[in-house]
Amino acid sequence: MWWHILNFKHKAAANFFERGFIPHNTSMPLCEALRRALLSASLILCLSVVLPPLAAKSHPAPGLDPGYVPALAAADHFLQAWQSGDTENGIALLTSRAKEAATTDVIERFFSNSAASAYEIGRGKLLKHRRYEFPVVLVSTAKNNHIRRLFSSIVIVDTGNNDWAVDKLP
């Protein structure tokens, strides 16, 4: 082996290195068996933790209703009108029911935000056929420069001919 390179004075030391740095004795077969059993058990444990998630069947996500995208777009257009203070386009996106439920003063106040503002739209859910509700967060800065977050929801309905409108203000 390679022990002759080290030029040891003692043959016992050379044998020690030649046998893998571990002196052999009568208990060695038992130690080797325990080591192999422990290695096998740890390998099985690791594989049992890693493989089941990989082998699990993934269920495909249910398909979105064809009206989801236009409803989400209508919510986005309405909130863009709110963000820019565009009352005219915002009112055009309201259903007659939403216009009756809110007074003109409420609608004017809703669209009159002079401070910087933003919004977040969450994942919507189908309430009824062609009627969706989207969670929204309206973010604006107050007069004292603190950020104000209003958590609400917006309901969008199909008014006919794939024309979507806001049925409930946030």
Q: From 154, 140, 151, 150, select the one nearest 76 (Cα to Cα).
A: 154
| AA letter at 18 | E
Mean pLDDT of the chain: 79
Helix (H) or strand (E) holding 92: helix 87-92
Is pTM beyond 0.75? Reply is no
Q: What are phi and psi of 119, to 5 degrees?
A: -145, 160
Q: From 170, 9, 169, 160, select the one nearest 70 (Cα to Cα).
A: 160
C-beta neighbour count of 98 within 10 angstroms? 19
What would the pLDDT profile of 33-44 be if each residue is shown by its tens digit? 667 766 676 767
Query: Are the C-beta atoms of 107 and 170 separated by less than 8 Å?
Result: no
Six-digit token string for 93: 């996106």
Evaluate if residue 2 carries a pLDDT over 60.
no
Extents of the domains making up the chain = 3-55, 68-168
What would the pLDDT profile of 50-104 be if each residue is shown by its tens digit? 666 665 555 545 567 889 999 999 999 999 999 998 989 999 999 999 988 888 8
Q: Structurally, what CATH architecture does the domain formed by 68-168 represent?
A: Roll (3.10)
